[in-house]
Amino acid sequence: MLEKTYTPETVEDRRYREWEEGGFFKCGQNAERNSSDETFTIVIPPPNVTGSLHMGHALNNTLQDIMIRYQRMRGLDVLWQPGTDHAGIATQMVVERQLAQNGEPNRRDMGREAFLERVWKWKEESGGTITGQLRRLGASCDWSRERFTMDEGLSRAVLKVFVQLYKENLIYRDKRLVNWDPALETAISDLEVQQQEIQSNLWYFRYPVEGEDGTYLTVATTRPETMLGDSGVAVHPDDERYKHLIGKHCILPLVGRRIPIVADAYADPEQGSGAVKMTPAHDFNDFEVGVRHNLEMINIFTTTAHINENAPEKYRGMDRFEARKAIVEDIEALGLLEKIDDHTHMVPYGDRGGVPIEPYLTDQWFADAKTLAKPAIESVEQGRTKFVPENWTKTYYEWMRNIQPWCISRQLWWGHQIPAWYGPDGEVFVEETEELAYAEALAHYKDKGDVQSVEMLEEGRGLERDPDVLDTWFSSALWPFSTLGWPDETPEVARYYPTSVLVTGFDIIFFWVARMMMMGLHFMKEEPFHTVYVHALVRDEKGAKMSKSKGNVIDPLDLIDQYGADSLRFTLTAQAAQGRDVKLATSRVEGYRNFMTKLWNAARFCEMNECLPVDGFDPAAVGQTVNKWIVGETVKAERAVRAGIESYRFNDAASSAYQFVWNVFCDWYLEFAKPLLTGDDAAAQVETRATAAWVLEQILKLMHPMTPFITEELYDHLKGENRSKPLIVSDWPVYDDGLIDAAADADMNWVIKLISEIRSARSEANVPPAAKMDAILVEGGDAVLSRAKAYMDLLGRMARIDGISIGEAPKGALQVVVDEAVVALPLAGVIDLDAEKARLEKAIAKADGEITKIDKKLSNQGFLAKAPDEVVQENRDRLAEEKAARDKLANALERISAAL
RNA sequence: GGGCGCGUAGCUCAGCGGGAGAGCACUGCCUUCACACGGCAGGGGUCACUGGUUCAAUCCCAGUCGCGCCCA
């Protein structure tokens, strides 16, 4: 016997273990059921190995799991490929912090090799907590295939890709400005840079013009310290104020350098003074101007953003903010500070290091993203990969068409070390192994006749590997095929690539989608996925982004503890409407927890009434109208849920299931079934038990992808001893359209309407709920009478009437109108006549309103001429109905008034 | 500045050319033999505003106002 409420904590771990240990998550296990040899594959967007489950993951993985479970039940060979990425910066930071806390030697003191050992140790002990958390969510990933971007196989894929792209000239080394994080001392991606609005100042400095005593050019800057690296001043070519100075020079104060005044449209006459100091080595825009005008690139910072030896001695060693202060003071002392304005502007911050990033001129490795992006753009243009919702294609195009060279090197230790070796003269050799690089180098220097280098190499010296590692996203870009075993020609690559759909939040379209598209197309010659489903962000209930600093983070694991994984999953699913963010309120989760309890109790009711599945039960063969009706409703519900899942309208799937379970099955069918289940008609009882069990079983199937735990638990109870296989691998139902019986529908809808009307009238007229009476059919005649008599059990139980016969409405009776029928309930003395009169008047007013509206429509010639026939007919029918109802209500009102 | 999106019941949101919906909250009644995490009934909306297209607009188009987010 089921308990009164569902307790997720006693079910979830146990069920999950059964699934996983039973091998039901494994790809290929479904193959014998699968006649069409169709596969369905999703690669998980690999979470960060240092990460833990947040709401975004919960939504993302719930939706993936719904598709995976649905397709698995449909009998497809399903692969949900899980794993994590090595998160270069984040992981290195975690371990460094740990070392500091333990008072152990820092990274540099312990050396690269020892440090990497520590990182691996950390990974084995504490990495990947998120995979355990995904299990708690119910994610049915094939854990036997779990991968990590630093795995041997995936690392091999990285090496191969790097070397091949290098040899195809799609990877190259270059000295360019990159986003430099001075806290972490590494280049970072422009996607890892967050712009923050900062209230600061605009400083106006006067730069003396060479050879013209007393003439100054005023420049405005937000970063005074960079003036130490100035190598020019730009003015707009059409700016009348400065035209005469173009071609002349300024003498850079404090430094004494002679710097040219150049004309460039980049200088905006409206901004600041209209003249802009140029620091090409420390600003992206200045860099461009510098290239155009051949300005010197003077790097004034160390890797930690302290002033270096390229600046006057006084400032060397100062940190950038100290230097700013000193320079402003010194400029002022020279009388060259014109003014300081308040100024709010955007300052780039590194999202990991948390300090402002520096545009910094260094040697880095770059991928030719522009070339790689071309086919990736075409794939979407030509519809081979499509975005859902479709409008994300715009974002994708926007970014891909303006893509910049991708800086792929990082000055870190944790990651895939770049397979490039430098010879004694700095010549670079890129190969998958040191041996190959060595051979290549030897051949090169022999060929060149460089005896000294050949000698060094032969002694095992002179070849040094590039110390840098690759951007984590370089390896994640290969994820859809590297996880399947590529570069080996594995059966998995052949079978599961390309994957079916990628599920992701829009915030990582650039990180994920774009890069996987580029790499997938280049190396596999085929898109990595046909569909990209972009879901929303999860926000707090007020719509603010969840963040630790705001303190509005809701931990999905807390919600799972409190309400169960299914409640959380269903909440997220029900709110996953396309194109709108999910605003999560716990009251919502609580509401869906109540829904889980409702389902539980429906099953409990079935259990108590011995509703057990009957082998060979044929839903087409039921005889009772209520059973015919619920079978048809089940078919409709399956259609709605299926359509929702298949069209990525998960909220529709959830609400269809919700409505069917609660508002159809529980509210009506189970109530209708009660007299049959407890009555003396043995045949009807047997049929109803079987039907109820069948419908419940269908419900468990339809809901399983969304709420796997409770459905599996109930399925187990329902099946009892005869259970052959668990719900997770049961067959998704396929129904015959013929199961929808129009006559049964019409009858049951009429019964529902009549019961609702009677209940409503009784309630509004303050009839005591317990009062029962005979009903009198005032209008409607024999046809209605026999229909009502056929369902007397239901009417009796749910509308509380004893019987029905044709007659006159007694004085002061309650009267309800349903279609052609007027039913009177003789309750003189019990009912509140004024309330009843008011009720009828209200109903008449409502009908009048409708009649006026429809009348207006039907008297419009344009409508009659141009609207589709069925719409016109529908309105005519409705008008007739409303008029008939209005007349009946008016009669009823007259009778009540007479009784007053 | 460019792009995307949103303004529908007190709150959170579906619906998106032909009868205004859900959940929560609220009110009244009901401890009825599945469920009070429940049942029954009910109140509550010029679908932001202004124009346009259409026989018909919450829905399509344009503009206005307000609010988000992304990119510069």
> Which amino acid, one-letter code, is at A391?
N
CA distance A709 to A524: 38
Q: What pLDDT score was predicted for residue A530?
A: 92
A714 touches strand B (CB under 7 A): no
Comparing every residue's Cα with the C1' atom of nucleotide B6, the nearest one is: A580
The CATH 1.10.730.10 domain(s) of chain A lie at: 556-733
What class does CATH assign to A556-733?
mainly alpha
A545 touches strand B (CB under 7 A): yes
What φ, ψ does residue A141 adopt, rounded to 5°?
Answer: -75, 155
What φ, ψ does residue A796 adopt, rounded to 5°?
Answer: -60, -50
A25-34, A514-523, A886-895, range with the lowest pLDDT:
A25-34
Helix ranges (DSSP H) in A152-219: 152-167
The CATH 3.90.740.10 domain(s) of chain A lie at: 186-360
A422 touches strand B (CB under 7 A): no
> Which amino acid, one-letter code, is at A686?
V
Q: Which two tokens stand for residue A743?
A: 């006559």
Q: Which two tokens stand for residue A60?
A: 């993302």
A398 touches strand B (CB under 7 A): yes
A418: exposed, middle or buried (C-beta count within 10 Å: 0-12, 13-18, 19+)? buried
User: Are β-strands A39-43 and A77-81 bridged in parallel, bridged antiparallel, or unpaired?
Assistant: parallel
Which nucleotide is closest, CA of A602 to its C1'? B34
Q: Per mean pLDDT, which of A133-147, A307-321, A397-411, A860-874 is the most reliable?
A: A133-147
A771 touches strand B (CB under 7 A): no
Q: What pLDDT score was predicted for residue A32?
A: 63
Residue A543 has pLDDT above 70, yes or no: no
The residue assigned the tokens 């460094």 is: A96
Residue A480 pLDDT level (bands cut at 50, 70, 90): very high
Binding site residue list of A for ATP: 548
Residue A529, classed as helix, strand or coil, is strand
CA of A198 vs C1' of B52, distance in Å?
44
Asked if residue A487 has a cis previous peptide bond (ω within 30° of 0), the answer is yes
Looking at the structure, give the CATH architecture of the domain made up of residues A186-360.
Alpha-Beta Complex (3.90)
CA of A390 vs C1' of B3, distance in Å?
15
Average pLDDT, integer, range A525-531 = 93
Q: What pLDDT score was predicted for residue A127?
A: 82
Q: Which residues 873-892 of chain A have a CB under 7 Å from nucleic chain B?
A: 875, 878, 881-882
Residues near A130 by beta carbon (within 8 Å), at least 6 away in sequence: A47, A48, A49, A51, A52, A53, A57, A84
Average pLDDT, integer, range A716-738 = 84
Look at the domain A834-899 and name its fold: Helix Hairpins (1.10.287)
CA distance A758 to A740: 27
A655 touches strand B (CB under 7 A): yes
Query: Please, are residues A717 and A603 in contact by the beta-carbon 8 Å criterion?
Result: yes
Residues near A576 by beta carbon (within 8 Å), at least 6 away in sequence: A59, A63, A535, A536, A582, A650, A651, A654
CA of A541 vs C1' of B11, distance in Å?
10
pTM of the model as a whole = 0.91
Q: CA nearest A627: which of A718, A693, A701?
A: A693
- Residue A799, CA distances (Å) to A168, A300, A794, A802, A823 in order: 80, 87, 8, 9, 12
Residue A722 pLDDT level (bands cut at 50, 70, 90): low
Residue A11 has pLDDT above 90, yes or no: yes
Q: What pLDDT score was predicted for residue A582?
A: 79
CA of A665 vs C1' of B37, distance in Å?
18
A581 touches strand B (CB under 7 A): yes
CA distance A600 to A595: 8
CA distance A40 to A76: 6
A819 touches strand B (CB under 7 A): no
Give helix then strand counts, H and E, for chain A. 31, 29
CA distance A420 to A463: 10
A347 touches strand B (CB under 7 A): no
> Which amino acid, one-letter code, is at A179?
N
A587 touches strand B (CB under 7 A): yes
A621 touches strand B (CB under 7 A): no
CA of A866 vs C1' of B17, distance in Å?
14
Query: Please, are residues A82 and A142 in contact by the beta-carbon 8 Å criterion?
Result: yes
Residue A203 pLDDT level (bands cut at 50, 70, 90): confident
Question: Between A682-703 and A586-608, two packed helices, what is the crossing angle to 10 degrees?
Answer: 150
A449 touches strand B (CB under 7 A): no
Which nucleotide is closest, CA of A390 to its C1'? B4
Q: For strand B, give the nucleotides within 7 A of a protein CB.
A: 3-6, 11-15, 18-19, 22-25, 28-30, 32, 34-43, 54-56, 68-72
Residue A111, classed as helix, strand or coil, is coil
Binding site residue list of A: 548
Helix ranges (DSSP H) in A575-624: 586-608
The CATH 1.10.287 domain(s) of chain A lie at: 834-899
What φ, ψ does residue A637 adopt, rounded to 5°?
Answer: -65, -40
ipTM over 0.85: yes
CA of A835 vs C1' of B26, distance in Å?
22
- If one counts every other C-beta atom within 10 angstroms of the C-beta of residue A312, the result is 15
CA of A6 vs C1' of B59, distance in Å?
41
Q: Which residues 737-766 of chain A have a CB under 7 Å from nucleic chain B?
A: 756, 759-760, 763-764
Q: Which residues 234-293 of chain A have a CB under 7 Å from nucleic chain B?
A: none
Residue A117 pLDDT level (bands cut at 50, 70, 90): very high
What φ, ψ does residue A267 adopt, rounded to 5°?
Answer: -70, 120
CA distance A198 to A827: 75
Residues A83-103 pLDDT 10s: 999 988 889 888 988 888 888
Q: CA nearest A479: which of A522, A508, A512?
A: A512
Q: Per mean pLDDT, which of A118-122, A698-702, A799-803, A862-866 is the most reliable?
A: A698-702
Which nucleotide is closest, CA of A584 to its C1'? B12
Which nucleotide is closest, CA of A649 to its C1'? B14
Comparing every residue's Cα with the C1' atom of nucleotide B68, the nearest one is: A543
Task: Report percent pLDDT > 70 for chain A.
Answer: 98
- If one counts every other C-beta atom within 10 angstroms of the C-beta of residue A681, the result is 12
CA distance A714 to A702: 13
Looking at the structure, give the CATH architecture of the domain made up of residues A745-828.
2-Layer Sandwich (3.30)
Query: Please, are residues A895 and A816 in contact by the beta-carbon 8 Å criterion?
Result: no
A235: β partners? A263, A275
Q: Which two tokens stand for residue A71?
A: 């397709």
The CATH 3.30.2320 domain(s) of chain A lie at: 745-828
CA distance A866 to A858: 12
Residue A35 pLDDT level (bands cut at 50, 70, 90): low
A346 touches strand B (CB under 7 A): yes
Q: Which two tokens stand for residue A894?
A: 């007259």
CA of A830 vs C1' of B40, distance in Å?
19
Which nucleotide is closest, CA of A391 to its C1'? B4
Q: Which helix (H) or strand (E) holds A231?
A: none
CA of A756 vs C1' of B2, distance in Å?
56
Q: Which residues 497-526 of chain A have a CB under 7 Å from nucleic chain B?
A: 507
A367: exposed, middle or buried (C-beta count within 10 Å: 0-12, 13-18, 19+)? buried
CA of A648 vs C1' of B69, distance in Å?
22
CA of A192 vs C1' of B61, distance in Å?
40
Q: Which two tokens stand for residue A236?
A: 């707009």
Residue A432 pLDDT level (bands cut at 50, 70, 90): very high
